[in-house]
Structure 1
């Protein structure tokens, strides 16, 4: 597949990196330094030019492209790039936007803006925050098979009851499979005698209830409840969308916004929230508002530095859990190292969503793990699949190491896979696979 990516920033570069191994990728950007950097970093063709220009897109070969992905920081430029591409090609167009208004318009009129698929950065970030917040201790969460299967990633702390246990002894949760252990940057497929060490990140796949039970053993809470104290600091679009989604779950968040006009807007829109007009970085105010009793604090200000400050102040006061929005992806590890429980980078979330979409040709759903070290795929098994009418043990013996069958759904029933489980055509299988073997494995499944 030939893919033209307009924009070589953080989102575009991540998308190009995820597609370069399996597709012919052309990247277009106006910044010569970005063009030079991506030329040396990736096996792609990089062109300096304006992606909204028909001449530039023709130079990039858009007339023969299968897909155009517009991922600059300008919503308008992305929409124009898609519309321009449609005048000379049948390429499937994908536009990244931040304004939810554009997304609402696009959803309301099929083919609006000449965009075939639209991704809203701020809404995706808010959905990620709420999804992670609903499962205590989780750093990543995704659903498969219509919500019947969940994948979750957790970090094991010194205090966890699972620390220094073997996988065999920790495997006491019904309908749960230990898919992988992420340790020191490496992906390890666990065996029964594999020791779970403090600092490990564990990827599990199973029923939502089993994932909740697993989470509660790692972190002794039950996830967000309507009675929980939740604070959203910052009335940005991400903060607003986060509060709106929390309201939909029956939670009454307290939204802190410094700007009086924006605070009034939020109070009118968020009828199920309590909006407080004040400075969320003021420790005296946070103490008066009893942030020490917070079950969750979401830092969604417009500055990474302020989000870090708010998160650390909240933790110092006694808040149980903090989630911070981090616009600069290079700061994510720093935030989590110094004490923020989860750092969400909207650009990375967007890049993963677009990359996920491009990989769904042969799969029902895809989740990308740890910046593309591995993926979790949902596949409908057909008669040609290597898995069809074979036991898990027999089939996986013919696959390279690095593949784990995490769950099977059959006729709306969840089946926990074991070595002697027989996979049938029509089954939906959720599979964990290391990225390095995906290109080899996916066609066989």
Structure 2
């Protein structure tokens, strides 16, 4: 079962408790970045699958046990990440780790009962991070619903800048436009950061020509994005109502957020007891007890006329079929939640609207923390990371806290690596889409987009 730690170790000593979807995703990403990983899980089969795939240690047992943590090397660990299915076990793992070892600790906590206590728990237990995948997924879904022309929306600079992904439709005015012409003729307030065309990812320069069918990621101040879509003939019809299929934790978080935004919410859930709970938790929502995959019920509940549909059942196949059905019978904005990574390429080929992967959202937040912790210099820290186009590109937000080799130099004079773009500068709340004469200053946060991986410090952008 167990394997030897990698020779010539670099990076951090990390213990991951829980080898489910999020644990597996974290193992893949952190192993790729060169960290020394020990996995703990009660299931020997789950451990075997991951230790066969990666050169990592595996220990069968209860991750909250003092004996098991010692065996896993807690005395020398830099970080404990607890992502089992039990919130209580995750919090206990981290509490034991903080008492026994001198390490940082991250817990996955999903239950709505704890969601209001996150700050208190984090402070009292001394945790580096508490992360809730369902709440993060609901957050991402609300961002996309506020900009329905987009396939995906990621936030930087505390929500003041957004990275937006969309597909150029047929006969759109962007077809055949060069990036520099687009900036001149349509909008200088957005910057095209990355383009996927026929499975290839490009970090475009000004001469790059856009074509219909391209999946384009651009960055803009939050207010500029809507205006840009209107100028290119892709208006954002506001979403007034949403139908959610499935009444789990993610549905609760999403329903609550949408109701707070003034959007009508209808949730279809098969379990009668859960329907009663939801009607108490979300009294303003319409809760329907029924099978959300029943075509007749969906017709009866007027799926043809809803502004948006979000399948949030626990079964990926059901979510995919519901999304395809909605695309067939309505003009609704469809957002599909997918938990597993199997058949990823097939899912990309289907017309599912926007696709959300909660485990990746969780993993990205943790990887951003790990890179910030690992950074050797104090002049900058990783604030946010988003993996783009199946991890073939990254958008990284750095907090530039002190002067360094990249500060006070016009961007045109910086000797940066190939396939890299300085996409956005946030200067005390003012979003700057940079040109060649702009400079990075101490105190800025800076977003870069690159096909390189593993950047920990802003100076990594230099050759």
Fold shared by both chains (TM-score > 0.5):
yes
Measure, in 1, the Cα distance between the counterparts of 2:199 and 2:39.
28
Q: In structure 2, which of residues 77, 82, 88 is the aligned counterpart of residue 76 of structure 1?
A: 88
The equivalent position to 1:238 in structure 2, one of 250, 255, 264, is 250
2:118–2:130 contact (8 Å) kept in structure 1 = yes
Deviations 1:111-134 (A, max 9, x none): 456644211122112112112222
Q: Any idea what SS the aligned residue of 2:288 has? A: strand
Report the Cα offset of residue 87 of structure 1.
Answer: 3.0
CA gap 1:109/1:68 in 2 versus in 1, 3 angstroms: closer
8 A contact 1:359–1:366 mirrored in 2: no
Per-residue CA deviations over 1:381-439 (Å, capped at 9, x if unaligned) read 355423211111111xx121122111122243222211122333333222212243625
Distance 1:415 1:122, change over 3 A: closer
What is the DSSP-based 3-state SS (H/G/I as helix, E as strand, rest coil) of the residue aligned with 2:151? Answer: strand
2:189 alignment partner in structure 1: 175
Backbone CA RMSD of aligned residues: 2.6
Does the alignment pair 1:208 with 2:208?
A: no
Between the aligned partners of 1:170 and 1:70, the Cα distance in structure 2 is 46
Counterparts of 2:110 and 2:399 in 1: how far apart (Å)? 33
SS at match of 1:138: coil
Q: Which residue of 2 aligns with 1:58?
A: 70
CA distance in 2, matches of 1:142, 1:253: 23
Matched, 1:338 2:350: yes
Deviation at 1:40, TM superposition (A): 4.6
Q: How does 1:104-119 map to 2 (within 5 A)?
A: 104-112=116-124, 115-119=127-131
1:400–1:437 Cα contact (<8 Å) kept: no
2:405 is equivalent to residue 386 of structure 1: yes
Query: Offset at 1:344?
Result: 1.9
Select 1:438's aligned residue among 455, 458, 461.
Answer: 455
Instruction: Provide structure 2 residue ranges, at least 5 long, that are not aligned to the other structure.
Output: 1-11, 374-380
Q: Which residue number in structure 1 is paired with residue 21 of structure 2?
A: 10
Compared CA separation, residues 241 and 332, structure 1 to 2 (3 A): farther
State the match for 2:435 in structure 1: 418
Cα deviation per residue 1:207-237 (whole Å; 9 max; x = unaligned)? 1122223344667332544xx2321122211
Q: Distance in 2 between matches of 1:358 and 1:431?
A: 18
Do the aligned partners of residues 51 and 185 (structure 1) sit closer, same or farther apart at CA in structure 2, a change above 3 Å counting? Answer: farther
2:279 aligns with: 267
Structure-1 residue corresponding to 2:151: 139
Q: Count residues in correspondence.
A: 441
Deviation at 1:65, TM superposition (A): 1.0
Q: Does the CA-based 8 Å contact 1:332-1:344 persist in structure 2?
A: no
Which residue number corresponds to residue 158 of structure 1?
A: 170
1:302-381 maps to which residues of 2 (within 5 A)? 302-361=314-373, 362-381=381-400
Q: Distance in 1 between matches of 2:73 and 2:447?
A: 36
Where structure 1 has 5 or more consecutive residues not aligned to the other structure, the ranges are none
User: What is the CA–CA distance in structure 1 between the aligned matches of 2:205 and 2:303, rounded to whole Å?
Assistant: 42
Give yes or no for the alignment of 1:298 onto 2:317.
no
Partner of 2:3: none
